[in-house]
Amino acid sequence: MAQILNWGITVILWAQHFSPALDLPFKFFSFLGTEDFLFLIVPLVYWCINRQFGARLSMLFLVSTYAVSYIKAAVNEPRPFTVDPRIKMLDTVNDAAFPSGHTQGAVVVWGYLATAFKRRWLTILAIVMMVFIPLSRIYLGVHYPTDVLGGYVIGGLFLLGGIWFLEPIEAWLGRKGLWWQIGLTVLATVLLLVFLPTHDDNGITEAALLCSGGIGLALERRFVHFSSRGTLSGLILRLLLGLVVLLGLRFGLSAAFSPLGSEMAFRFIRYMIIGLWFVAGAPWVFIKLKLAECE
């Protein structure tokens, strides 16, 4: 393993020979692979393009991201720049290296979008993202090539699982009653936190969003029946309104809860509220404001 990591260091040092000339483009691609950016893509799909695909994508992304958080905590591999001082740290990171979450996210999100919508331009864009986002992480000195390979494998497995199983799981859950759906969501979240704990902020965030997303989807299907179709002006207005409230909740609740202590507990509550807004609250408001219609 040491030989493989040493080879990885050689690859990183070779790539960083092109620094600073390529710093800006690779930092840009790295940003496109952050959870913050991908969390903007999912609402866009859910609110404005296709509610069903957006719901599936959000669950798939969150489950795969939680898995990566768990594996990172379990493996606890140090970042390359902490091992070899010759490597420049061109991005700020605060967790373990293996596997690459950027790579996993790029494969899951862009791969699922390409397979769901089957547009040539989207397939080309997905390939570009799935190549250059992982390369950017090596160039920036925060991942070994093996970390990126791990992200490809995990992301690919979850992508295939999503393509094969999300639709039948959704159909099975749809035949259950509301309280069954909510109960199964809560039970799955508890099992994740108890048996696959991540012990970090990202894991708590993803678990809370999974829980609130599952509950919100059940409530939305029972009471709201939101349709993502609409006029261009309506789509733009609902996206802007939804994101403004979402960001307001994220930062406003953080400021409100920070003096209260119990950071993990309040983080969970904060992202439960955010998830419920994203999945059920925003669609209900869109309908009330006549920015969307019921199905």
pLDDT in tens, 219-236: 999 999 999 999 999 999
Q: Specify if 4 maps to a domain.
A: no
102 and 243 in one domain? Answer: no
170 and 185 in one domain? Answer: no
Output the pTM of the full model: 0.90
Residue given tokens 């606890």 in the structure block: 76
101 and 184 in one domain? Answer: no
Task: With cut-offs at 50, 70 and 90, classify the pLDDT of residue 286.
Answer: very high
DSSP secondary structure code for residue 291 in this structure: S
201 and 144 in one domain? Answer: no
Domain stops at, among 175, 209, 242: 175
- In tens, the pLDDT along 145-197 reads 999 999 999 999 999 999 999 999 988 988 889 999 999 999 999 998 888 88
158 and 183 in one domain? Answer: no
Judged by phi (left if over 0) then psi (alpha if -120 to 50, else beta), residue 79 lies in beta
Mean of all residue pLDDT scores within the chain? 91
Residue given tokens 């309104």 in the structure block: 241
Cβ–Cβ under 8 Å, residues 294 and 227: yes
How far apart, in whole angstroms, are the C-alpha atoms of residue 62 and residue 69?
Answer: 10
148 and 52 in one domain? Answer: yes
Q: At what angle do helices 145-174 and 101-117 cross, to 10 degrees?
A: 50
Q: Specify if 16 maps to a domain.
A: no
Q: Specify if 2 maps to a domain.
A: no
Task: With cut-offs at 50, 70 and 90, classify the pLDDT of residue 127.
Answer: very high
Cβ–Cβ under 8 Å, residues 150 and 122: no
Is the per-residue pLDDT at 259 higher than 80? Answer: no
Cβ–Cβ under 8 Å, residues 261 and 71: no
- Alpha helix locations (H) across 76-177? 80-83, 101-117, 120-139, 145-174
Structural tokens at position 282: 């925003």
**Domain ranges, residue 58:** 22-175
188 and 170 in one domain? Answer: no
> What's the total number of domains in the chain?
2
84 and 140 in one domain? Answer: yes
Cβ–Cβ under 8 Å, residues 203 and 69: yes
Q: Specify if 12 maps to a domain.
A: no
149 and 27 in one domain? Answer: yes
Mean pLDDT over 13-24 rounds to: 93
157 and 225 in one domain? Answer: no
Q: Pick the more confident residue, 126 or 200.
A: 126
Q: Specify if 153 maps to a domain.
A: yes
The pLDDT, as a whole number, for residue 261 is 62
Q: Specify if 190 maps to a domain.
A: yes
Domain stops at, among 175, 205, 235: 175
Domain stops at, among 160, 175, 190: 175
Q: Specify if 91 maps to a domain.
A: yes
Q: Specify if 9 maps to a domain.
A: no
DSSP secondary structure code for residue 93 in this structure: -
Q: At what angle do helices 51-75 and 101-117 cross, to 10 degrees?
A: 160
60 and 42 in one domain? Answer: yes
293 and 195 in one domain? Answer: yes
Residue given tokens 């990171």 in the structure block: 93
Structural tokens at position 122: 């989207």
Is the per-residue pLDDT at 262 higher than 70? Answer: no
Residues of the chain with pLDDT > 70: what percent? Answer: 99
Q: At what angle do helices 120-139 and 2-15 cross, to 10 degrees?
A: 100
